[in-house]
């Protein structure tokens, strides 16, 4: 596996490739969720590039940019074992120039849910994803469904800017207890981890209700709230796959999304119905 830090070197490497290229963008602290994306890419493409870049522009003032977990050596080993061809780890100063074009995520979809609590977060995500896609020019790029709104906005970015990349949505990976894997889970104490299980439990209970035929969004949100309390709920929302509000679950076209604070850690999870 090649480690590339230099942008020029990455571009030369990419230019020389005349085969399918898979790309998995990450912010490091890799876990089984990332590994499943990487393995899928390795299986489906002749070459796989993984990036590790903790992108400052997607963090808001007071968020965890400074303390975001860093495990470079462990991440390197994970990538090597998974069959990655290039691990791209650029410097912040190389990724951003002093005068940058403004890239704004569409307000009607980027300032709801996550974007309502984290304004401008998706502007930063789309900006870095566009840069990374331009550098790696992948045939296929892999994103987890856990960041459902991010995935939607990236699909929209690629479609609207006619980028030549297929966005491949990947399933959420959970631990044996049901907690959706996230690099931020490393912030949780043992007791907080137990508390955090209420999140996946609330989604499971909602899915059981839907199987019983209870599709009212109001009803589902009510029972989820009961399961989640006393966690500090940031939102429980049920939308269609265009991220529009709905009153009734539309099978194969709905997403139930939850964001909660567990101690001082903000966790999100969702279920695609
Ligand atoms: O999902 C993430 O880890 C990040 O938002 C991404 C896509 C790597 C962009 O920084």
The pLDDT value given to residue 262:
98
Per residue in 28-73, pLDDT tens? 999 999 999 999 999 999 999 999 999 999 999 999 999 999 999 9
Mean pLDDT calculated for residue range 84-93: 98
Atom of ligand 1 nearest to the CA of 125: 9
Mean pLDDT calculated for residue range 100-116: 97
Mean pLDDT calculated for residue range 136-163: 98
Domain boundaries, the chain: 2-170, 183-272
The pLDDT value given to residue 137:
98
Compute, in angstroms, the gap from residue 210 CA to the centroid of ligand 1: 31
Per residue in 237-268, pLDDT tens? 999 999 999 999 999 999 999 999 999 999 99
Q: What are residue 266's phi and psi, to 5 degrees? A: -95, 125
List all residues whose CB is within 6 A of at least one atom of ligand 1.
Answer: 25-27, 55, 58, 125, 128-129, 147, 150
Mean pLDDT calculated for residue range 143-165: 98
Mean pLDDT calculated for residue range 146-160: 98
Compute, in angstroms, the gap from residue 27 CA to the centroid of ligand 1: 6
Whether 31 is catalytic is: no
Q: What are residue 37's phi and psi, to 5 degrees? A: -65, -45
The pLDDT value given to residue 220:
98
Compute, in angstroms, the gap from residue 127 CA to the centroid of ligand 1: 11
Mean pLDDT calculated for residue range 11-28: 98
Q: What is the mean pLDDT of the chain?
A: 98
Flag whether the pTM goes above 0.85. Answer: yes
Mean pLDDT calculated for residue range 127-155: 98
Instruction: Using pLDDT thresholds of 50, 70 and 90, give the confidence band for residue 27.
Output: very high
From the candidates 31, 34, 121, 219, give the one annotated as an active-site residue: 34
2-170 CATH, one of 3.40.30.10, 3.40.640.10, 3.40.50.620, 3.60.20.10: 3.40.50.620
Distance (Å, whole) CA 158 – CA 129? 10
- Atom 9 in ligand 1: which residue has the minimum CA distance? 125
The pLDDT value given to residue 196:
98
Candidates 134, 32, 149; CA nearest to 88 is 134
Please name the fold of domain 183-272.
Answer: 3.30.1300
Q: Following CA atoms 240, 270, 147, 197 in sequence, which dihedral angle do they give, to the nearest 10 degrees?
A: 170
The pLDDT value given to residue 160:
98
Q: Following CA atoms 30, 118, 108, 246 in sequence, which dihedral angle do they give, to the nearest 10 degrees?
A: 80
């Amino acid at each position: 596996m090649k480690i590339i830090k230099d942008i020029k070197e990455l571009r030369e490497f990419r230019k020389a490739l005349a085969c399918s290229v898979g790309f998995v963008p990450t912010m490091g602290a890799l876990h089984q969720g990332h590994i499943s994306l990487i393995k899928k890419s390795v299986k489906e493409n002749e070459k796989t590039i993984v990036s590790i870049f903790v992108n400052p522009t997607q963090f808001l003032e007071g968020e965890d940019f400074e303390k975001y977990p860093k495990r470079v050596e462990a991440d390197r080993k994970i990538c090597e074992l998974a069959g990655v061809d290039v691990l791209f780890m650029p410097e912040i100063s190389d990724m951003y120039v002093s005068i940058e074009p403004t890239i704004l995520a569409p307000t009607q979809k980027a300032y709801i849910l996550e974007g309502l609590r984290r304004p401008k977060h998706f502007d930063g995500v789309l900006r870095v994803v566009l840069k990374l896609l331009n550098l790696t020019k992948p045939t296929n790029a892999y994103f987890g469904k856990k960041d459902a709104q991010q995935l939607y906005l990236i699909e929209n970015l690629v479609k609207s800017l006619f980028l030549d990349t297929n966005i491949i949505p990947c399933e959420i990976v959970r631990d044996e207890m049901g907690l959706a894997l996230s690099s931020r889970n490393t912030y949780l104490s043992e007791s907080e981890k137990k508390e955090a299980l209420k999140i996946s439990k609330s989604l499971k209970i909602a899915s059981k209700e839907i199987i019983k035929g209870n599709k009212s969004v109001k009803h589902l949100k009510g029972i989820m709230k009961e399961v989640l309390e006393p966690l500090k709920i940031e939102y429980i929302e049920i939308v269609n796959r265009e991220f529009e509000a709905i009153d009734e679950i539309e099978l194969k076209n709905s997403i139930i999304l939850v964001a909660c604070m567990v101690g001082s850690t903000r966790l999100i999870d969702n279920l695609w119905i």
